[in-house]
Amino acid sequence: MDFQPILDLLEKNGQAHILDHVRRLSPEKREVFCRNLSTLNLPLAFRLYQKFSRQKGSSAHLPNIEPAFVISTPRTPEEIQRRQEAFRLGESLIRGNQIAVLIVAGGQGTRLGFPGPKGFFPISPVKKKPLFQLFAESIQALSTRYRARIPLLVMTSRENREETETFFQSRDFFGLGKDQIHFFSQGMLPTLTPGGKLILGDETSLLANPDGHGGSLKALHESGLAGRLRGQGISEIFYCQVDNPLAKIADPAFIGCHRQEGADISTKVVRRQNLEEKVGIYGMVNGKPAIIEYSDFSPEDYRSLDENGSIRYWAGNIAIHLISLSFVDRLNRQGFALPYHRAVKEVEGLGPTGGNETMAGWKFESFVFDSIPLAQKSCCLEVVREEEFAPVKNQTGIDSPDTARRAMTDLFRRWLEYAGVQVPPGAQVEVSPLFALDQEELAGKLKGKKVVIQEDTYFG
């Protein structure tokens, strides 16, 4: 392979320090380094650097923001009936083998600081099942309930792909068929210093970061997986993040609403808890639906109330989507359509003296929700936070394993109470997806049985 064009590109973009490093390497290591280089989209990284370095100061707030239409939790008889119809429609699509589930698990999980991919984190309250196991078991239970074939797509980064696949293999794919699971890797983009210099990750590679969860929509297409799924009759993908153990996998009502609305992409939102909660908001920007980051609002707008005294921008994004495969195709037809963002983070790379150094780095990432304004039609559904959202982001405090476990126990407690079973305060309870996927199924299984809970109890 001729690496000269890449080396010329480095020269042209002011990366003499990397060329010096390459010259110092042995021929074998030089070959490895250049091979690694060739897997990164350097021209894109240089273009993004130019773009973001021209932006001065902090970004302005977005003008022309309005609240968007959200399908609220049904209350009137008509709304209830329409939701029931949506549920049945969603069920029929699952039964028809048209739905796949995508878990994005390529993030670096820096805030959680867990030694391993986040999907391995032992989260469930009693059995301490890892996040991946809960998703796989939900898919197994749904496949049984609907006699359906539901492919599980797991997006990893190149860094955690092998470890993730080995984890599934060593646990017999958590009961799923090996050919039911499709692993694919997202792209990586080089991390740059604020001065535009590439950073060495180690002797034979540059420091690079996964290209954001939006990279899933690119990698699905480029890996050929989207095409293969279409060939198998899949029309929609249920998308969720690896760190939400409460995600209602392939929720039929959500799938049905998406279809009823003829949407390209649908989003679940929950009510913002208070004016202080910082969350991406589903709203309208210049007349188009979008997720608006809280930093894109003026402080006054973000804290504004409507005529009833309720929070005006209440629809908080919980990163659960339904995405039509035809839309994924459209997003990739003329190059990848999503914009990139820049995050300034502390990173660790190889310094000039050969030791590890901490420095500021610019990471470029795309976000899956940036596809919403590009859709011809999008749909948004309000759901109840306590039933569907408990993210595991931080080691302690809010959005941590503690809060997620508490949310799981509280949810299962409510299911049990619905089934007529009292749970004493302090007891941990866990219901396996293989035992029941919802309170109705649990109540059906426990009907006529005397269940007494004294301490930590697992229904599996």
Give the residue with the Cβ less far from ligand UTP, 135 or 146.
135
Contacts with ligand UTP: how many residues (CB under 6 A)? 21
Burial (CB count within 10 angstroms: exposed 0-12, middle 13-18, buried 19+), residue 18: buried
User: Rounded distance, CA 400 to CA 394, Å?
Assistant: 5
> Binding residue for ligand UTP (CB under 6 A) from 94, 105, 123, 411?
105
186 makes contact with ligand UTP (CB under 6 A): yes
> Binding residue for ligand UTP (CB under 6 A) from 13, 18, 109, 161?
109
40 makes contact with ligand UTP (CB under 6 A): no
Could you tell me which of 363, 400, 403 has the C-alpha nearest to residue 113? 400
Give the residue with the Cβ less far from ligand UTP, 106 or 283.
106
Least Å from the CB of residue 184 to ligand UTP: 11
Least Å from the CB of residue 173 to ligand UTP: 20
Tokens of 227: 């095409």
Is the Cβ–Cβ distance between 29 and 204 less than 8 Å? yes
Tokens of 378: 């999008």
Window 207-246: residues binding ligand UTP (CB under 6 A): 210-213, 215, 241-243
22 makes contact with ligand UTP (CB under 6 A): no
Give the residue with the Cβ less far from ligand UTP, 166 or 310.
166
Q: Which stretch binds ligand UTP (CB under 6 A): 7-15, 18-26, 126-134, 205-213?
A: 205-213
41 makes contact with ligand UTP (CB under 6 A): no
Window 387-426: residues binding ligand UTP (CB under 6 A): 393
249 makes contact with ligand UTP (CB under 6 A): no
User: Rounded distance, CA 435 to CA 460, Å?
Assistant: 5
104 makes contact with ligand UTP (CB under 6 A): yes
258 makes contact with ligand UTP (CB under 6 A): no
Least Å from the CB of residue 5 to ligand UTP: 27
322 makes contact with ligand UTP (CB under 6 A): no
Where do contacts with ligand UTP occur on this chain (CB under 6 A)? Answer: 104-111, 118, 155, 186, 210-213, 215, 241-243, 365, 393
